[in-house]
Amino acid sequence: MKKLIIFIILLIINTLFSYAQWEECKGLSGKNVRCIAVKGDTIFAGTWGEGVFLSTDNGNSWTTKNNGLTNLIVNCIAITDDKIFIGIWEGGVFLSTDNGENWIARNNGIEILEVLSLAINDNKIFAGEIGLYYSTDKGNNWIFDIGTYIIYSIDISNDTVILGTDYGIFLSSDNGQNWSNKTTDEISFRHIYSIAICNNNYIIGVELKGIFISTDNGYNWIEKNNGLKNLQIYSIANIRNYIFAGTGNGIFLTSNLGNKWIEKNDGLTNLHINSIIISGNRIFAGTFGGLFKSSISKLTSTGLINNIDTNSFEIIPNPAYDILIIKNQNNKNLRFKIINLFGIIVSQGLLTEEKTILNISGLSSGVYFFRVGCETTKFIKQ
């Protein structure tokens, strides 16, 4: 009888872990993971005090990649092609072109070497510290752009760039050539650690005040905290109509622009969420005590593939062979990405007409996601 009871208890424990929403990435347990970047099965994790870790097997095992770094406090990571950029404390920007084996400082033009945020749009790299810098030559030279504010967070969609600072929000609609201050109350909107663009909506996390959303190009901001258990927002990530908020007390999900947030913490052993990143159907969360992974389909009730919302664009035919036709209903000059099931961008470009014809004859047969902004739909290449 005793053996039977033990067997039943072990069976229950195994079942609970099998159906947990989150799974810990072994090898980073107990580490303070501040930032994450993903490219296919390759994952970079930046930590507080222990530098950069690399996984080439979707987070199952990790190796340290710190050769050349002058400081092991890593604030941010951004990847473009074969170039990995990181921002470190009191060290500025470092670049690796060999998958993290070696790092070289790239700080020409940057005055104060405390880079807190990085973002890339085509060949333009943005770096946030006290003020915003940008580089158009792969980080070799940096040009001061705007501000005496601390730039905590940057997000980009098409040519729209939005900044979260210690005193409000700044917005550019022309890839950083011109900026407008979208702060209605600098005292209320202090320390915006996280920011995201979803279609024409802007989502920000304000220190100790929670989530605010603007649906009118940043002219007005509405508090959206129903269901949140903690108003310290450290990270925001979104895909289609799903928005994830990483707080000081776990991860919360909304599918209705913040009208209601639902807790998604099953399987997390640390609830202080530093960073969230989405890659295809995968989602990763960096915490004070390790890195965790899950899937969009597991965290949402109906799943990624079977719950595609009505988009502002249409793709035909589906399935497709050599040609894909995109009918863009609302806007021209929108950037698109074609992403495979591993989260790798296999094609990207610009929708310049209401009807765009793409040659996809070079793609392998399989399932792909077509993404414009945070709108995504699925198609099959035969």
Residue 345 has pLDDT above 90, yes or no: no
pLDDT of 18 reads: 45
Q: Label residue 330 by pLDDT band (50, 70, 90).
A: low
Strand 250-254 with 242-247, pairing: antiparallel
Residue span(s) of the chain under CATH 2.60.40.10 come to: 314-381
pLDDT of 185 reads: 72
Closest residue by Cα to residue 289 from 25, 30, 23, 52: 30
Residue 106 has pLDDT above 70, yes or no: yes
pLDDT of 334 reads: 76
Closest residue by Cα to residue 287 from 73, 49, 24, 3: 24
DSSP 264: -
d(CA 252, CA 241): 14
Instruction: Quickly list H helices, 2-81.
Output: 2-18
d(CA 43, CA 62): 9
Residue 15 has pLDDT above 70, yes or no: no
The pair of three-digit structure tokens given for residue 215, joined into one six-digit string = 């649906």
pLDDT of 22 reads: 97
Residues 143-189 pLDDT 10s: 999 988 999 999 999 999 999 999 999 999 999 999 999 987 766 78
d(CA 382, CA 148): 53
The answer to whether residues 229 and 247 touch, using CB atoms and an 8 Å cutoff, is yes
pLDDT of 6 reads: 40
For the chain, what percent of residues have pLDDT higher than 70?
90
pLDDT of 304 reads: 34
**73: Cβ contacts below 8 Å, ≥ 6 apart:** 34, 48, 49, 88, 89, 90
Residue 119 has pLDDT above 90, yes or no: yes
pLDDT of 156 reads: 96
Residues 25-40 pLDDT 10s: 999 999 999 999 998 8
pLDDT of 57 reads: 93
The CATH H-level (homologous superfamily) assignment of domain 23-300 is YVTN repeat-like/Quinoprotein amine dehydrogenase (2.130.10.10)
The answer to whether residues 240 and 257 touch, using CB atoms and an 8 Å cutoff, is no
Residue 110 has pLDDT above 60, yes or no: yes
The sign of the torsion formed by the CA atoms of 73, 212, 339, 279 equals positive
Coil, helix or strand at residue 17: helix
**332: Cβ contacts below 8 Å, ≥ 6 apart:** 351, 352, 353, 354
pLDDT of 19 reads: 55
The sign of the torsion formed by the CA atoms of 254, 377, 195, 78 equals positive
Residue 126 has pLDDT above 70, yes or no: yes
Residue span(s) of the chain under CATH 2.130.10.10 come to: 23-300
d(CA 305, CA 328): 21
Closest residue by Cα to residue 168 from 148, 152, 182: 182
The sign of the torsion formed by the CA atoms of 337, 118, 136, 162 equals positive
Average pLDDT, stretch 131-145?
Answer: 97
The pair of three-digit structure tokens given for residue 115, joined into one six-digit string = 């880079």
Average pLDDT, stretch 80-104?
Answer: 96
pLDDT of 269 reads: 93
DSSP 3: H
**C-alpha to C-alpha distances, 335 to 93, 158, 351, 370, 373, nearest whole angstrom:** 27, 5, 6, 11, 7
The pair of three-digit structure tokens given for residue 350, joined into one six-digit string = 């610009």
pLDDT of 356 reads: 87
Degrees to nearest 5, angle at CA 372 with 370 and 378 = 25
Q: Label residue 133 by pLDDT band (50, 70, 90).
A: very high
d(CA 275, CA 256): 22
Residue 16 has pLDDT above 60, yes or no: no
pLDDT of 329 reads: 60
- Domain 314-381: CATH architecture, name and number where available: Sandwich (2.60)
Residues 216-228 pLDDT 10s: 999 999 999 999 9
Residue 136 has pLDDT above 90, yes or no: yes
Q: Label residue 305 by pLDDT band (50, 70, 90).
A: very low
pLDDT of 332 reads: 61
pLDDT of 2 reads: 45
d(CA 276, CA 238): 9
d(CA 46, CA 34): 6
Mean pLDDT (the chain) is 88
Span of 150-159, 281-290, 312-321 with lowest mean pLDDT: 312-321
pLDDT of 308 reads: 37
Closest residue by Cα to residue 65 from 97, 103, 25, 113: 103
